[in-house]
Structure 1
Amino acid sequence: MSAENKEMVVHFYDQLFSHGNLEVIDKFVGPTYTNHNPQGVDGPEGLKRFITYFKGANPELHHTRYRILADGDLVLLHTRSVAAPGATPHVVVDVFRVEEGRIVEHWDVIQPVPDTTVGGHDLFSTLSAPAENGPDPLVSTSESKRIVTRLFHEIAVDRDPSAFERYAVDPFYEHNPQHADGVAAAKELFTGLFATHPEVTLDVKRVIAEGDYVAVHHHLKLNPDDPGFSCIEFFRVRDGRIVEHWDAVQPVPAASANDNTMF
């Protein structure tokens, strides 16, 4: 059902955010819809109220999709969103859970796009060969997922930054605006993070993979009292090694319009 879920979610998203068509909510959103956006509320009627407000406030909203992944009952959209001409663009990553043809749950991470980046790359394009934003159906999804989950386990649980040497390969393209390219730079980043924040945790909530792309949604906390950050990271796996990385990071707010958490 992954392909059908992907087609439905893309249609739903375009109709909702490009055209403000509320009828798709009646057609595709389940009555138990749970929203993890900290400003959102649950249920189809709550979603209608939000879209009515949001489209009214942003009539010139434009979005460009870069990646769509479907894995089981989950569909992920990686989007560049601009509220109006000249406004600051945002990275928006939406994850939808589909049950019997209806969207029943939603998570997202939203991050403003900075003017400059350390590596000189934008936050969306694909630089590794072949330069395709969509998943490669010839690449094993299960193998890509295995490689990325092993990297995360060895980083988050074993706290071993040398894992990048085993699972990634140069040229390793980095799209996080604050970090440099290369396996050595990634290893140095986590070495410094563990030294500066010895209580840091990365709690993986869900992994979504299709072909050569793997997305990991996790809760990053610098210490036990830190509300932390909701992070969705993308990895591209080619020939058994990770070659490229993108992410979106959003601080977890102190207060929320719902009790669902961002996770």
Structure 2
Amino acid sequence: MRRIFLSAVSMVMLATTAQSQDLSNGDKAAAVLQSFQTGDATAMKEYVNPDKYIQHNPYFPDGIAPVIGAVESGAFQGTLVNSYRTLSDGDFAVVQSLYSGAWNNKSPLVAIDVFRFEDGLIVEHWDNMMPLASKPNPSGNTQLDGVTQIVDADKTEANKTKAHDYIDTVLVKGEIDKIGNFVKDDNYIQHHPDIANGVSGLKAALGEFAKKGITMVYDKIHAVHGEGNFVLVMSEGKFAGKPFAYFDLLGLNDGYVDQHWGIMAAIPPASDWKNDNGKF
């Protein structure tokens, strides 16, 4: 069993470790993110391909140079980065974090960053962010609490399939009556700030959206990444008629989905993008 919460001190150590140390892709990704806190871009220079960095954050141009420049210029001074869950899945790494402190004078943000590797170096990046709620959800859960241990490594592929089918069946196809195939009874811990635990909580929230004339639509699943009992499903759709990106991090146990951490964020119009790669 492997603990995956990394303290600020250990993250700094990772960022300055020689490449000769055997780090997982998840460890490298977490160290790169820690650069925003330390102002030290060493990890970015060591673990990101200097000649190929495809950026899907619409507010940054392609290439790692603009990001390194912003870090070294002090643009993120005072920012705190705490990573809660870090997954390694082949050539991909997923990191769920909280960005706080002097985060551009904004409220704290919960984020999920996804990185793709080639030959041990990061060559592509996706992310999704939403504000940290000021209070727990109706069931008393926060957006980041809950289990952090990776277990069931041998069930990774089965869990990825289960997570994909859950999102595809219940949210893309809208067959909510089949949710029992994926969630056992009402054993479903919800970390969305506005939704209560259980199938009943999810149905109630969707019902409230409908009463207000708000639709939440999932149109397409773009990617599924996971390790052991954690799986991230990346999708796009519409919320209240506007284009949205949905990053659903699911916890699975004994073949069923039992926890959900979700980040939903509006996709800005193409006229505001700093690159031509799209959100996905």
Q: Fold match, TM over 0.5?
A: yes
Partner Cα distance (1:97, 1:32) in 2: 11
Describe how 1:1-263 pairs up with structure 2 within 5 A: 4-14=24-34, 16-30=35-49, 31-53=51-73, 56-84=74-102, 88-116=107-135, 117-126=137-146, 132-138=147-153, 140-169=155-184, 170-190=186-206, 200-222=217-239, 226-254=241-269, 255-263=272-280
Code of the aligned partner of 1:182: G
Partner Cα distance (1:194, 1:200) in 2: 12
Partner Cα distance (2:77, 2:172) in 1: 45
- Conserved in 2, the CA contact under 8 Å of 1:5 and 1:98? yes
RMSD over aligned Cα, in angstroms?
2.6
Partner Cα distance (1:215, 1:201) in 2: 15
Q: Percent identity?
A: 25
Partner Cα distance (1:113, 1:39) in 2: 20
- Conserved in 2, the CA contact under 8 Å of 1:119 and 1:177? no
Aligned to 2:18: none
Measured after TM superposition, the shift of residue 206 of structure 1 is 0.8
| 3-state DSSP of counterpart to 2:141 | coil
Partner Cα distance (1:143, 1:121) in 2: 27
**Is 20-29 or 93-102 further displaced after alignment?**
20-29
Partner Cα distance (2:159, 2:201) in 1: 22
- Conserved in 2, the CA contact under 8 Å of 1:164 and 1:187? no
Partner Cα distance (1:134, 1:41) in 2: 35
- Conserved in 2, the CA contact under 8 Å of 1:161 and 1:188? no
| 3-state DSSP of counterpart to 2:24 | helix
Code of the aligned partner of 1:22: A
Measured after TM superposition, the shift of residue 249 of structure 1 is 1.4
Structure 1 gap ranges (5+) = 127-131
Partner Cα distance (1:157, 1:125) in 2: 27
Partner Cα distance (1:188, 1:139) in 2: 35
Partner Cα distance (1:204, 1:193) in 2: 22
Q: Can you list the C-alpha shifts for 1:24-47, whole angstroms capped at 9, x where unaligned?
A: 333222212011111111112222
Measured after TM superposition, the shift of residue 222 of structure 1 is 4.4
What TM-score does the superposition give when structure 2 sets the normalisation length?
0.80
Q: Can you list the C-alpha shifts for 1:181-213, whole angstroms capped at 9, x where unaligned?
A: 111222444567689567933311111111111
Code of the aligned partner of 2:228: G
62 and 197 in structure 1: CA distance in 2 versus 1, 3 angstrom threshold: closer
Partner Cα distance (2:255, 2:53) in 1: 37
| 3-state DSSP of counterpart to 2:232 | strand
58 and 10 in structure 1: CA distance in 2 versus 1, 3 angstrom threshold: closer
**Is 233-242 or 179-188 further displaced after alignment?**
179-188
Partner Cα distance (1:159, 1:32) in 2: 39
Partner Cα distance (1:153, 1:176) in 2: 19
| 3-state DSSP of counterpart to 1:11 | helix
118 and 220 in structure 1: CA distance in 2 versus 1, 3 angstrom threshold: farther
